[in-house]
Structure 1
Amino acid sequence: MEMVFRWFGEENDHIPLAHIQQIPGVKGVVWSLHNKVAGEKWSTDDIKELQQQVDPYNLHIEVVESVNIHEDIKLGLPTRDKYIENYIETIQELSKVGVKVICYNFMPVFDWIRTDLFKELPDGSTALFYEKQLIEGNDPSELVERVMKDENFTLPGWEPERMEQLSEILEAYKKVDEEMLWDNLKYFLEAVIPVAEKYNIKLAIHPDDPPWPVFGLPRIVINAENLGRVLELVDSPSNGLTFCSGSLGANPANDLPAIIRRYADKIHFAHVRNLKRFDNGDFIETSHKMSDGSVDMFGIMKAFHEVGYTGYIRPDHGRHIWDEVCRPGYGLYDRALGIMYLWGIWDSLEQTK
């Protein structure tokens, strides 16, 4: 496996590249152009500017997360073609700097849902929390106000320009059911996958987070069966998956090691993290340590080891610890601890071959 670390850029992240470079085994940063709105073409100059920031630290930029998909594409509106063309041109631009994987998602409106960004855990640390009763039957605009009120960073998937149009977008989705969303995903993939294949780039869809409908919005990338359906939409080595133990693991019915073994050759990118599920449908993110949560962390890494996984992997969301002031879920300290936990499992498996 190749360990990478998500970084939000010099203007939108508190973590210096020099610190990321010091985490054992990290080979690259997972990045995006966070000043770009969904649907906007990425320019050569902007991409190369980021490359120039990263190069001095001997870290690669082979994984992008994410090139966001415009809502008109997900909605299947006539305007989608111009945004798809921008996506295609962005793929072409990214190939010029050696990008190998583009992680994306097809979640309507919200890239992820949490109800509290800093819920306190018993040890005094805080973490991202999902409280079911605050979602079901409630106004999503109230959630946005609650979650965003004290946020100084731009949250991925919760960009201000997107939230400003929330009511209009939600109204438009009332006409879109699951099958229509599947059709719109297929339309998108049929257009972009041949281009990605031409430039030797893998597109890797991220599972929906959480993996069930929220606020009446359809969600389709939620389980093993549906992951297979994504792959069947366009048969190509460039049509692949991002495995996310946190997103899929929120539903106890998802057998995460089995998903890895089933789709091993199609998993181009992996997010590995832990969370603790509660019987009432709530969940909270925890340390990566297996006993702290509900996710079979050892089983996941064992499955990756058994299939000979050589793709990219990163620790996902971490707790906020040691008084670190950081982007919710994306502090340095707990994610670095998570990396060492994952390496510890991996090295142990290597020794028992």
Structure 2
Amino acid sequence: MEMSFRWYGDDDPVTLENIRQIPGMKGIVSAIYDIPAGEVWPYEKIVELKNKVESKELRLNVIESVPVHEDIKMGLETRMKWIENYKQTLRNLAKADIRTVCYNFMPVFDWTRSALDAPLEDGSHSLLYDEEKIKHLDPLSGELELPGWDLSYQTEDLRKVIEKYQSITEEDLMDHLIFFLKEVIPVAEEENVRLAIHPDDPPWSIFGLPRVMINEENVVRMLKEVDSTHNGLTFCTGSYGANPDNDLFSMIEAAKGRIHFVHARNITWTGTKSFQETSHLTSDGSVDMVNVMKKLKEAGFKGPIRPDHGRMIWGEEGRPGYGLYDRALGAAYLNGILDTLTIAKEG
């Protein structure tokens, strides 16, 4: 596996110089953040980003993410314009020798939490999802704004988009995803780009919006309906693992050969549909990280993996979930597991 690290560009308080000092770190996961969703990514900007990363002796091995325009998710007549743009972005990424692209199909909102700085017993703090609190929040009120959310909408425009989704079922959303994939995967095959869909986070409906990348049944359906090795998963242990009904080991087996990217994150269940993020250690959370890594290795996964959503520790301040220190500890822990598994196999 290729140990990698998320970097948010020049404005990220965690620098490439910081990242390259983490033992065993090889890859950078990043994106171009100033292009509106749906617009074509210019080749020149992709190369500029790649050159910045390579100047620090690292490799831009994953783009996370190329956003999917809402018209595509809603299945509107205008979607083909945005799908053609997506195809061209894939071609431009391939021209720059970028081979793995992460994306998601979550309506309107990206990953959602009720608190960004919930305390843990050791004095650190982390991201928390409290279902009861979320139930009583109005996403249009402005009282909940999270990293990853597209806040370019005006409130009234956002209200209209959410209202349109009220008539879109989960079955409809899955159909729209399949339509999108049947259009873009042939380009991915031509350009040798692996598309890796991220699960919905959390893996259930929020704010009355449908969500589909939530469980093994839907994952298998998506993989079968567009049966190409270029159509695959970002396997996020924290997202799928937030639902105790999801058997991560069974899901890895079901998606064998189609997992292109891994987010390694641990969470602890705190109630029905509620969880808090923890350190990466198996003993600290509800995800058996050691055996998940073992299962991934047994399934033949050799692609990029990154420690995901660290705690804020040692007084660090920065982008919630994306500080340096705890994610660096997570990378060291994951590398330790991999070293142990490799030695055990050789022994």
TM class, shorter-length? over 0.9
Residue 233 (structure 1) shift? 2.2
Please tell me whether the aligned partners of residues 132 and 282 of structure 1 are also in contact (alpha carbons under 8 angstroms): yes
Tell me the residue number matched to 1:151. Answer: none
Q: Quick one: which of 150, 156, 161 aligns to 2:152?
A: 161
**Could you state the TM-score of these two structures normalised by the residue count of structure 1?**
0.94
Residue 171 (structure 1) shift? 0.8
Q: Would you say 1:234 and 2:226 are equivalent positions?
A: yes
Q: Would you say 1:146 and 2:138 are equivalent positions?
A: no
Q: Which moved more, 1:285-294 or 1:162-171?
A: 162-171
Tell me the residue number matched to 2:307. Answer: 315
Tell me the residue number matched to 2:236. Answer: 244
SS in 1 for 2:135: coil
Where does 1:94-243 land on structure 2 (aligned, <5 Å)? 94-136=93-135, 138-142=137-141, 144-147=142-145, 155-156=147-148, 158-162=149-153, 164=155, 165-243=157-235
| Cα distance per residue 1:224-270 (max 9 Å; x no partner) | 11111111221111111110000000001111122112212000000
| Cα distance per residue 1:32-53 (max 9 Å; x no partner) | 1111121111011211211221
Structure-2 separation of matches of 1:224 and 1:15: 35
CA separation of 1:24/1:162 partners in 2, compared to 1, >3 Å: closer, same or farther? farther
SS in 2 for 1:277: strand
Structure-2 separation of matches of 1:338 and 1:138: 32
Q: CA RMSD in A?
A: 1.3
Residue 163 (structure 1) shift? 6.6
| Cα distance per residue 1:278-336 (max 9 Å; x no partner) | 23432100000111111111110110122232111111100011111211100110000
Structure-2 separation of matches of 1:277 and 1:147: 23
Partner amino acid, structure 1, of 2:18: H
Please tell me whether the aligned partners of residues 127 and 321 of structure 2 are also in contact (alpha carbons under 8 angstroms): yes
Residue 137 (structure 1) shift? 5.0
Partner amino acid, structure 2, of 1:15: V
Q: Which moved more, 1:55-64 or 1:90-99?
A: 55-64
Structure-2 separation of matches of 1:185 and 1:147: 26
Please tell me whether the aligned partners of residues 236 and 263 of structure 2 are also in contact (alpha carbons under 8 angstroms): yes
Tell me the residue number matched to 2:288. Answer: 296
Structure-2 separation of matches of 1:253 and 1:278: 15
Please tell me whether the aligned partners of residues 64 and 101 of structure 1 are also in contact (alpha carbons under 8 angstroms): yes
Q: Which runs of 5+ in 2 are unaligned?
A: none
Tell me the residue number matched to 1:337. Answer: 329
Please tell me whether the aligned partners of residues 112 and 210 of structure 1 are also in contact (alpha carbons under 8 angstroms): yes
**Could you state the TM-score of these two structures normalised by the residue count of structure 2?**
0.96
SS in 1 for 2:140: helix
| Cα distance per residue 1:126-180 (max 9 Å; x no partner) | 11110111222542224x42345xxxxxx22x13204743212111111111111
State the identity as a percent.
52
Q: Would you say 1:305 and 2:326 are equivalent positions?
A: no
Please tell me whether the aligned partners of residues 109 and 150 of structure 2 are also in contact (alpha carbons under 8 angstroms): no
Please tell me whether the aligned partners of residues 257 and 300 of structure 2 are also in contact (alpha carbons under 8 angstroms): no
Structure-1 separation of matches of 2:144 and 2:121: 23
Please tell me whether the aligned partners of residues 203 and 240 of structure 1 are also in contact (alpha carbons under 8 angstroms): yes
Tell me the residue number matched to 1:37. Answer: 36
SS in 1 for 2:28: strand
Q: Which runs of 5+ in 1 are unaligned?
A: 149-154
Q: Which moved more, 1:296-305 or 1:267-276?
A: 296-305
Tell me the residue number matched to 2:2. Answer: 2
Please tell me whether the aligned partners of residues 108 and 150 of structure 2 are also in contact (alpha carbons under 8 angstroms): no
Please tell me whether the aligned partners of residues 137 and 215 of structure 1 are also in contact (alpha carbons under 8 angstroms): no
Structure-2 separation of matches of 1:209 and 1:346: 26
Please tell me whether the aligned partners of residues 220 and 254 of structure 2 are also in contact (alpha carbons under 8 angstroms): no
Structure-2 separation of matches of 1:118 and 1:137: 19
Structure-2 separation of matches of 1:175 and 1:189: 22
